[in-house]
Structure 1
């Protein structure tokens, strides 16, 4: 994809230096981008499902991302958090973004499994929700399944059962499983168990060579700051 993307947000203009740009309105800001994928990956919005054809496809509030039995996707959020989505998965992206340092993200995991590397949050919010539980994140590497199994490689994740209200904080190399009665079983993971979990996502890391775009942030006073945004080549 040779198209670069710019955003208009309150008091902030974002542009890609040196190449053309697509402009989004204040009320229509992307929350994330599909940076890498393998067919078939579909995007549902307002009841319409379309196949993703090119890397860099923006995801907006309320979009549903679907992978089939052979598909996977790598999604990058505006705060540089990353999500790897396994085959046979379905998730809804929700949230709000005022600027790069002020974002709120909620992933509704309806089917399948994801592995996330979430940026340090500070006052920002990042949640993964299933039908039975919610995982609140403050900067970590962790995985989640739609049937309420969570595991943490680094950092901390607070898992809350919707049925019982019970909450458990999972630390490094630990897991939590929400039971049918709403209780949460938790424990430690061995290095071998973590490696087995992570190895299932290895294909998503192969031959991932990003293109670096220089992105210019300009505020209403004309002050500028440039950051690097990595956009990954897709392999079909």
Structure 2
């Protein structure tokens, strides 16, 4: 059974996921079958989540198959269970799929149907993380990169394996590189200038920093070995004006 809407909102920017946190944290129990892949950490002014068709007041878990949409003025920050996270620009739509074995082993695929996201993926060998568009797949094991739904990817740090879905052509994009799948399904690559990078990054800096004292949420689940594990997440309340009051997506 999927958990009801969370009472606490996950804040911005990325904060550490800690094992065995303080006893004061709110506790949420999950079975191996209903563990979420990610949480909406912060948004402004609203987001919409399908198939639940909700715009959360404070935060919401994302399960495999859930779709998150932002409207023309909306931004969102999504934290995954392995501490990877995504910044989502306005007019974007993405669907998350995958599974979580424990806090160090995840398999995640984001289908980006519209818009643009920026990812920071944790560097752990057990992780399998992909972002797919209509013509491309970006596969990573720890990096900072952006993907647009028009089959364009760019790398700020690390390495991305960028593949044309139609032809199977794969190129390695490293720091300050971009890749674009063309109409004929071939891939064009190139170098980015510092000015290019700054322009690409600037749109993702609209979400402000945290304010006030951090809140805590403890997630309890049974791992693949049958052991009970706890993960504690620190987060900040979202005080954005107008948050949660818009359901027009």
After TM superposition, the score normalised by the length of structure 2 is 0.81
2:37 to 31, 42, 67: 31
The within-5 A match list for 1:1-236 is 2-3=7-8, 17-45=23-51, 48-55=52-59, 57-204=60-207, 206-209=208-211, 211=214, 213=216, 215=218, 229-234=233-238, 235=240, 236=243
SS in 2 for 1:103: strand
Q: Which portions of structure 1, spanning 4 or more consecutive aligned residues, are displaced by more than 4 angstroms? A: 1-5, 13-16, 214-221, 223-228
Distance in 2, matches of 1:19 and 1:4, equals 13
Structure 1 position 156, deviation (Å): 0.3
> Structure 1, unaligned stretches of length 5 or more?
6-12
Structure 1 position 232, deviation (Å): 3.1
SS in 2 for 1:180: coil
SS in 2 for 1:30: coil
Distance in 2, matches of 1:227 and 1:29, equals 12
Question: Deviations for 1:111-153, whole angstroms, at most 9, x for unmatched residues?
Answer: 0000011100313100000111110001000000011010000
* Bigger share in strand: 1
| Count of aligned positions | 225
Kept after mapping to 2: 8 A contact 1:93/1:108: yes
| Greater relative contact order (Cα < 8 A, sep 6+) | 2
Distance in 1, matches of 2:175 and 2:236, equals 28
Question: Deviations for 1:88-121, whole angstroms, at most 9, x for unmatched residues?
Answer: 0000000100100111010000000000111003
Give 1:8's aligned residue.
none
Kept after mapping to 1: 8 A contact 2:47/2:56: yes
Kept after mapping to 1: 8 A contact 2:9/2:42: no
Q: 1:21 to 1:228 in 2, by over 3 A?
A: closer
Quote the RMSD (CA, aligned, Å). 2.9
Distance in 2, matches of 1:70 and 1:150, equals 23
